[in-house]
Structure 1
């Protein structure tokens, strides 16, 4: 039995190095001979000081230390502390005589791993060494496993998008790649439900299947998921969701591993890869003209079919003189042709001529899908620059849309946009400084009753005071603010100033401008409702002026807001009526109280008969609908007399007063 234990001990100690310290020569020689049969290498020290020196020199190779207690120059306890200072985890066995029991407490405190009594006996030695060596092996296996686990974790974190949730689906952990692809910060995700990134296009049935698999069946679920980032971008991930069970078989949490496959599914990514690999390229962008109208006229599925059909036929419609191999579908009715410049050495004029023929072919082409027949109309931009050619071509498409040109040569346009961007940056800095220094202020222009000539209302008009004291109107900063994150802050300040003015200008109404963008922002509508509640006794003196716009994403949101504020006593005015979309049916659905006739129709009404006829029609419409009318830009007595005699109820303009600060 003992020989079996010895064989097992030799197996465990194979390849190990022992440091053995003993000051008694006779005992040292006998023990060294014994230990040499077990260990691959035995380093021998003659006293504590020698042992400390040897360990410092060879500690990287030493697996086990066996040391005497009572030794000259440095005793065993001091030696152990010296060794532990270098390596707190090395295994140490104390070799002690019966009369050294007083050191027992100190060795325990030093954290030794075992004890052997002098003189050495084979059986106890084999037993103690066996336990210590087994402990060393277990520690090594744990260290190895921990190291492997850490490496697995690192490679998984690097290659995968990872999240963990509690059993209810509330996020408890996300890695950096999750934050990068979703656009959310970690603190925006932790504690939120996982549907924060859910794309509305994903069918509910898919998520019912997922939850049934991971929660009810407690199995792994795999599939392709379409998600939506914080900025609204779509991305696709191949997803694996694994339930983590406790010993009772209950779901403790869920862990999800995803891999971004958007690049596989995205023509845009493939186009960018091509342009990156072929720095000198000809790039042609083709945009379906009036694409927003196409979206409004047909349902989403039909629009996608029209886009797909057009994309598949574009190579046949393009006079393929240079051998285009494919069409990149970039979404929202935008397509691209790209080719290495070495394969297309045509001049600007030659490319322009080919695109003219292409557009002529497009005009003759009719998309036929199911019961749909759609006449495609398109516009193009092209460039063959070296730097930022996609940006150039994209700006070219935007210019083509604005200028109604069918083809735009776009080389270098992004440089112009860059200059504009620098100006925007300066304006953004000016806006931020004004907000920080409370220099966004409100001026108020009187609105006069045309019958009594008394001021009954004031319009709140935002102004910005620059660092050098200039007073700027919205023309100089508001559009830029809309492109940044400061527009909502300006709106909040205007609302705050306007509600405060209710108490500075008693018994009159305050008219506040609101855009569609304001109403579509939850934080603004929530703030308005809070202000109306706070100032409920004065809410009937508030008028919200809504600017007509075609750029409305959801009419229901606008109507709901109007209904909410009107229920609190607020009146609704339609601002600049006559220059916008002027959809009378939609206008009436808003149930306005006031129509403000745009100043461009009023300022020259005394010598423009066409404008007079237009305004007369508006007045007739307003009176039939029992709407109050306001004429803007009433600059002099002659204009005032005309609008008064035409039956307009109120006037606003420099004739009655410039905007002023209260």
Structure 2
């Protein structure tokens, strides 16, 4: 192949579907070629144009195109800062990714000297590949390259395929469906509480019940809201969920004066001044039951303002509540944050507990968690306790409280009787 590229007339971005480009793609489609198209954008073109003017910059763009072209990779100049690189009869996705990386690397290695300074081109690539059986138009191919390129730029990636965009779109559609389901459930009050006991590891008595929000699906089944929490945080439903859980739990405390209960709030509540004040104001109206209330702060997102979070925990404790840090070890909370927050309890995430009897490394980690918390004056709760062997190990490690299906699954209605038959296993 001739290594000389004819830049012809530099097309504007609105003239993207230049006939010469579309003709090349149409010919590949007509002859059933298995082709991949890499749309390359020079990200710092405008900066170079400003510094060195049209003539020098355009010349370097032309030379860059020659440098990245190979015998198997055809390079077409689309406009002043875009190329379309084309390869036919690729082997597989792995080869395509390798070529994308090679194009990217060559562009960044290619530099030029000007006024005793060395400058480099910075690029981003969106690509799309066709198969023999594909029946589409050349404009469709270009559009898919543009979509992939836009996603690469928006996500600050070096390159992206249209296949990746499709996967992300499917994930986004699933996320939107989840958000709609949560919104509908909250709007029509299709929810209720389930309760799971937290058991004293020494006496076997129920220390308190965790109140867990359940949503009713289209089949009328009550399902955990847990898998929807991240979506709720992203779409702004989490404060409403926190408020519903809080109000329903407080109501249960009035109905069952002999019981202690806990409910979950998101750590994002610290980030919203309105949510922060709303929780404290509501609790302040119900101080009578607060000594029997445990506020469990979930660890699904990083606590950005540790000082503000510590103040929130202190205010909850001043009102008479106890505070637990939930899912410790699964997310972002560190021992430093645990110390700063001065919580009453730390709940060790179930991912460390469920394989405790067979995973020696988990035993070491859980032992360290428990020991550190005890030295800080914080009591520990192990989640996901599913059998007697795990229970025995946790008792030996000195864990204060246990929670899991071994004692009782989360269920509607209280008081919940423990699975006493399990206690001898």
Q: TM-score range by the shorter chain?
A: 0.5 to 0.7
Residue segments in structure 2 that go unaligned for 5+ positions in a row: 1-11, 19-37, 68-77, 88-95, 112-121, 129-140, 414-425
CA change 1:604–1:351 in 2 (3 A) is: closer
Deviations along 1:195-219, one digit per CA (max 9) or x if unpaired, are xxxxxxxxxxxxxxxxxxxxxxxxx
1:635 aligns with 2:389: no
CA change 1:602–1:275 in 2 (3 A) is: farther
How big is the shift at 1:346? 4.2
How far apart, in 1, do the equivalents of 2:303 and 2:373 lie? 24
How big is the shift at 1:465? 0.2
Counterpart among 577, 582, 592 of residue 328 in structure 2: 577
Q: Name the counterpart of 2:103.
A: 354
Q: Name the counterpart of 2:247.
A: 496
1:607 aligns with 2:358: yes
Counterpart among 292, 315, 319 of residue 564 in structure 1: 315
Structure 1 residue matching 2:323: 3-state secondary structure = strand
Structure 1 residue matching 2:294: 3-state secondary structure = strand
1:322 aligns with 2:65: yes
How far apart, in 1, do the equivalents of 2:335 and 2:277 lie? 29
Q: Name the counterpart of 1:522.
A: 273
Q: Name the counterpart of 1:278.
A: 16
How far apart, in 1, do the equivalents of 2:82 and 2:372 lie? 64
Counterpart among 609, 628, 647 of residue 398 in structure 2: 647
Deviations along 1:339-358, one digit per CA (max 9) or x if unpaired, are 57985444466553121245
CA change 1:318–1:549 in 2 (3 A) is: farther
How big is the shift at 1:441? 2.1
How big is the shift at 1:531? 1.8
Q: Name the counterpart of 1:421.
A: 172
Whether the aligned pair in 2 keeps the contact of 1:594 and 1:628 (CA below 8 Å) is yes
| Number of positions where the alignment pairs a residue of Structure 1 with one of Structure 2 | 335
Whether the aligned pair in 1 keeps the contact of 2:147 and 2:162 (CA below 8 Å) is no
Whether the aligned pair in 2 keeps the contact of 1:399 and 1:408 (CA below 8 Å) is no
How far apart, in 1, do the equivalents of 2:193 and 2:51 lie? 55
Deviations along 1:598-651, one digit per CA (max 9) or x if unpaired, are 111111111111111111111111111111010111111221111112110000
Whether the aligned pair in 1 keeps the contact of 2:242 and 2:266 (CA below 8 Å) is no
Counterpart among 392, 414, 417 of residue 148 in structure 2: 392
Q: How does 1:211-230 map to 2 (within 5 A)?
A: none
TM normalised by structure 1 equals: 0.45
Counterpart among 309, 328, 338 of residue 587 in structure 1: 338
How big is the shift at 1:528? 0.9
Deviations along 1:145-188, one digit per CA (max 9) or x if unpaired, are xxxxxxxxxxxxxxxxxxxxxxxxxxxxxxxxxxxxxxxxxxxx
Structure 2 residue matching 1:543: 3-state secondary structure = strand
Whether the aligned pair in 2 keeps the contact of 1:285 and 1:382 (CA below 8 Å) is no
TM normalised by structure 2 equals: 0.67
CA change 1:352–1:578 in 2 (3 A) is: closer
CA change 1:343–1:505 in 2 (3 A) is: same
Whether the aligned pair in 2 keeps the contact of 1:395 and 1:413 (CA below 8 Å) is no
How far apart, in 2, do the equivalents of 1:639 and 1:596 lie? 15
1:472 aligns with 2:223: yes
Counterpart among 127, 136, 148 of residue 383 in structure 1: 127
Counterpart among 513, 517, 539 of residue 264 in structure 2: 513
CA change 1:539–1:415 in 2 (3 A) is: same
CA change 1:320–1:465 in 2 (3 A) is: farther
How big is the shift at 1:489? 2.2
How far apart, in 1, do the equivalents of 2:15 and 2:160 lie? 23
Deviations along 1:80-104, one digit per CA (max 9) or x if unpaired, are xxxxxxxxxxxxxxxxxxxxxxxxx
How big is the shift at 1:312? 8.8
How far apart, in 2, do the equivalents of 1:621 and 1:603 lie? 21
Structure 2 residue matching 1:661: 3-state secondary structure = coil
Whether the aligned pair in 1 keeps the contact of 2:267 and 2:303 (CA below 8 Å) is yes
How big is the shift at 1:422? 3.1
Whether the aligned pair in 2 keeps the contact of 1:447 and 1:455 (CA below 8 Å) is yes
* Higher-RCO chain (CA-CA 8 Å, sequence separation at least 6): 2
How big is the shift at 1:498? 1.7
Structure 1 residue matching 2:409: 3-state secondary structure = coil
RMSD (CA atoms): 3.9
Structure 2 residue matching 1:477: 3-state secondary structure = helix
How far apart, in 1, do the equivalents of 2:306 and 2:341 lie? 9
How far apart, in 2, do the equivalents of 1:318 and 1:579 lie? 48
